[in-house]
Amino acid sequence: MLTERISEALREALAALGAGNARFRLDRPRDTSHGDLATNAAMAVAGRLSRPPREIARDLKERLDGIDGVERVEIAGPGFLNFFLDAGAMGGRVQAILGRGERYGRNEDGRGRRVMVEFVSANPTGPLHLGHGRQAALGDAIASLLEWSGWTVHREFYFNDAGGQIHRLAISVRARYLQLLGHDASVPEDGYQGEYVSEIAAGLIERDGPRYEDDRSEEALEAMRGFAVALLRREQERDLAAFNVRFDEYYPETRLYSDGLVANTISKLRETGLTYREDGALWLRTSAFGDQKDRVMVKSNGSPTYFLPDVAYHMNKWERGFHHVINVQGSDHHSTVDRVRAGLQALDRPPGYPEYVLHQMVTVERDGDEVRFSKRSGSYTTLADLVAEVGADVARYFFLMRRPEGHLAFDLDLALDQSDRNPVFKVQYAHARLCRLFELAGKKGWVADHDTLISADTSLLVDRSEREVVKQLAEFPALLRRAAAGRAPHLVCDYLEKTAGMVNSWYQTGHPTRNPALSALVDDPALRAARLALAGAARTVLHNGLSVLGLDAPRRMVRDD
RNA sequence: GCGCCCGUAGCUCAGCUGGAUAGAGCAUCGGCCUUCUAAGCCGAGGGUCCCAGGUUCGAGUCCUGGCGGGCGUGCCA
């Protein structure tokens, strides 16, 4: 593409001036009088070359003349180089987009490399809540962005099916089970109070009858535990499926024990000489690797803390061949980051392994006030309820449109709004509107197939409204690259909203009631083909962008009033 | 106390590796439907980028010190 050609020419020119490998920007200036593309290259290397930026810009400009598709280059301001593209090059970008089609925006940066994204990882102790929802949307979108960058991506869900929380679940189920059978029993204070626990107990009676009624053995409790975990796991999976999120693998904590990985990790850590006994517990000197303080590995009662299986699990990820791992977690878990990494460094893994994306919590607001509208969970709003209320696409988009590290106030009024206020509909509608143009062209008997569009004379796209759209569309690949590198799906949302706005603007400019001469559906076949090519390119970008985020790109919008 | 994150328009938030006059949506006000879906478009007003220093050709962005808010700081997960 043209941007790459200019970028390459700039690199060569900089090398010739003695500033090879310099970092510079080449992007679209806000102000169109500053050209179609602009670079800060001269300023960026001024310090290194100890020369005035404008002088360097002059030298660069001399070496940049004659790039195919560039009409002229100007020096401006403190030393910017502004590139003005000719009509042919501008139009050529449309062809390039159409040529790539559903692959437009993909790159091969991660080719041949594997990455694991671990996310959601909810304990099977209850229905998924909104924090899990945000994490599901975030993890899936980050995984998708990496796939668009050529990585081979493994989506993994880790669940804690052992330990104290699960034990409390089992006790709670037993209490409800006994209640349903007419016995006097109560759920302990630190147990699980939600209605779903009774549902589990009822399911247990249906399957096994009253056989645990008088059985206080560990085996009976174990059967209840197993039943509850399996049921909740199925339910979580069903809720995630309704949210269009799927995993390649579900990894249970108990496997770390049954496969001997926890025991193995203990002995490996002991071999490092970084462990010691104190107050009856076994500690690891994590402070040697930047942790705030040392951590207990094995409690004085002989059972491991959660820290140990975490380390064992990440050693296992590494041994499975995942040297790039991204864990998406709520920021309330951020204290585990340093200690897990410290434990892994003790075992000679690199300091930055694994990578973490931490997100803040979610609240739902209606009329500016926080609301909770879930009955089953007992205390919190569930993901399933939210999805039932607003739909998967809206929920996903809203979870993604803010930076992960900020608190997310889910605006329920806006989410339920089917008007222009709702960004999801705005983007989807812009896509549907472009599809509609092709439908109408077809009705008039005009050929607008792929071959026609890709061979259209797009140098006819000279109107400002058209050129602005083309420039926006041309930025899509760089945008995806940036979003992938920054683990930042919200950038895609921003981009799509802006693109949809520009598409709508362009569409209105050429609306028959306003300015028929600029309509996409003009009588002049050559002009029509060029504009439909632009419409096709825009539709491709909106479609691909929505697809990266895991959203549908409808060909037609149906409003349910 | 210490660690991490956040602080940008009335509201919700973008802002890339430091780059040209700080942007978007909503809200407010004024225009635009006999013609491709007005679920839209055009225009206007609206800013101490939390504060104070520093780094430099240039700081919302980097550094230091404050202020305000969130989370964490367990032999809980």
Q: How confident is the model at residue A558 (pLDDT cuts 50, 70, 90)?
A: confident
For residues A357 and A329, is the Cβ–Cβ distance under 8 A? yes
Provide the 8-state DSSP code for A154: E
* A95 has pLDDT over 80: yes
**A363 Cβ within 7 A of any nucleic strand B atom:** no
Instruction: Please provide the average confidence, as pLDDT, over all residues in chain A.
Output: 91
**A254 Cβ within 7 A of any nucleic strand B atom:** no
Interval A195-220 mean pLDDT: 92
Interval A334-341 mean pLDDT: 91
For residues A448 and A532, is the Cβ–Cβ distance under 8 A? yes
Q: What are phi and psi of A153, to 5 degrees?
A: -110, 135
pLDDT at A326: 96
* 3-state SS assignment for residue A70: strand
Q: How confident is the model at residue A222 (pLDDT cuts 50, 70, 90)?
A: very high
- Sequence-distant (6+) residues with CB within 8 A of A56 are A17, A42, A45, A46, A49, A79
Cα distance between residue A381 and residue A131, in whole Å: 10
Long-range contacts of residues A239-242, Cβ cutoff 8 Å, at least 24 apart: A239/A127, A239/A128, A239/A382, A239/A383, A239/A384, A239/A387, A240/A120, A240/A128, A240/A136, A242/A384, A242/A387, A242/A392
Reported as a single tens digit per residue, the pLDDT across A416-452 is 887 767 899 999 999 999 999 999 999 888 988 999 9
pLDDT at A413: 83
Q: How confident is the model at residue A373 (pLDDT cuts 50, 70, 90)?
A: low
Placement of tokens 């491991």 in the chain: A304
Alpha-carbon distances of A247 from A183, A206, A242, A512, rounded to whole Å: 41, 30, 13, 48
Pairing of strands A249-252, A152-159: parallel
* 3-state SS assignment for residue A81: strand
pLDDT at A135: 95
pLDDT at A377: 67
Reported as a single tens digit per residue, the pLDDT across A128-153 is 999 999 999 999 999 999 999 999 99
Alpha-carbon distances of A391 from A163, A321, A525, rounded to whole Å: 35, 37, 41
Q: How confident is the model at residue A348 (pLDDT cuts 50, 70, 90)?
A: very high
Nearest to A17, CA basis, from A54, A60, A70: A60
pLDDT at A375: 60
pLDDT at A474: 94
Alpha-carbon distances of A159 from A122, A236, A265, rounded to whole Å: 6, 11, 19
* Host H or E run for residue A508: helix A490-509
Distance from chain centroid for Cα A536: 26
pLDDT at A220: 92
Buried b (16+ CB within 10 A) or exposed e, A415-434: beeeeeebbbbbbbbbbbbb
**A489 Cβ within 7 A of any nucleic strand B atom:** no
Which two structure tokens, joined as six digits, stand for A553? 């790109």
**A449 Cβ within 7 A of any nucleic strand B atom:** no
Can you give the distance from the CA of residue A386 to the C1' of nucleotide B12 in angstroms? 20
* Host H or E run for residue A337: helix A335-346
- Sequence-distant (6+) residues with CB within 8 A of A346 are A269, A272, A274, A284, A285, A286, A288, A289
pLDDT at A52: 87
Distance from chain centroid for Cα A232: 25
The torsion of the CA quartet A489, A493, A494, A499, rounded to 10 degrees, works out to: 130
Interval A207-229 mean pLDDT: 92
**Complex ipTM value:** 0.94
- Sequence-distant (6+) residues with CB within 8 A of A335 are none
**Measured at the alpha carbon of residue A385, what is the angle toward residues A382 and A388, in degrees to the nearest 5?**
150
Which two structure tokens, joined as six digits, stand for A264? 């193995």
* A559 has pLDDT over 70: no
Interval A190-197 mean pLDDT: 89
**A105 Cβ within 7 A of any nucleic strand B atom:** no
**A419 Cβ within 7 A of any nucleic strand B atom:** yes
Pairing of strands A70-76, A281-284: unpaired
Residues 509-538 of A with CB under 7 A from strand B: 509-514, 516, 519-521
Q: Considering only A252-261, A352-361, A363-372, which range has the smallest mean pLDDT? A: A363-372
- Sequence-distant (6+) residues with CB within 8 A of A506 are A465, A466, A468, A469, A534, A538
Nearest to A540, CA basis, from A36, A99, A147: A99
Which residue approaches B11 most closely, CA to C1'?
A368
Cα distance between residue A527 and residue A540, in whole Å: 20
Can you give the distance from the CA of residue A185 to the C1' of nucleotide B46 in angstroms? 62
Can you give the distance from the CA of residue A150 to the C1' of nucleotide B69 in angstroms? 40
Higher-confidence residue of A372 and A179: namely: A179
Can you give the distance from the CA of residue A275 to the C1' of nucleotide B37 in angstroms? 69
Which residue approaches B15 most closely, CA to C1'?
A491
Nearest to A549, CA basis, from A147, A232, A167, A275: A147
**A464 Cβ within 7 A of any nucleic strand B atom:** no
* Host H or E run for residue A26: strand A26-27
**A411 Cβ within 7 A of any nucleic strand B atom:** yes
Torsion sign (Cα): A308, A310, A312, A318: negative
The torsion of the CA quartet A527, A533, A535, A538, rounded to 10 degrees, works out to: -140
Phi-psi label, residue A279: left if phi above 0, alpha if psi -120 to 50, beta otherwise: left
Neighbouring C-beta atoms of residue A299, cutoff 10 Å: 14
* 3-state SS assignment for residue A411: strand
Q: Considering only A108-112, A194-198, A391-395, A410-414, which range has the smallest mean pLDDT? A: A410-414
Interval A280-287 mean pLDDT: 93
Nearest to A240, CA basis, from A433, A88, A382, A29: A382
Q: How confident is the model at residue A378 (pLDDT cuts 50, 70, 90)?
A: low
Laid out side by side, the sheet with A281-284 consists of: A275-278, A281-284, A295-298
**Measured at the alpha carbon of residue A375, what is the angle toward residues A370 and A380, in degrees to the nearest 5?**
45
**A111 Cβ within 7 A of any nucleic strand B atom:** no
Can you give the distance from the CA of residue A154 to the C1' of nucleotide B55 in angstroms? 43
Residues 492-511 of A with CB under 7 A from strand B: 494, 497-498, 501, 504-505, 507-511
Percent of chain A with pLDDT over 90: 69
Torsion sign (Cα): A53, A59, A60, A64: positive
Interval A322-329 mean pLDDT: 96
* A163 has pLDDT over 90: no
Q: How confident is the model at residue A560 (pLDDT cuts 50, 70, 90)?
A: low
Buried b (16+ CB within 10 A) or exposed e, A252-281: bbbebeeeebbeebbeebeeeebbeeeeeb
Reported as a single tens digit per residue, the pLDDT across A503-514 is 999 998 888 788
pLDDT at A358: 93
Alpha-carbon distances of A429 from A392, A543, A554, rounded to whole Å: 16, 11, 8
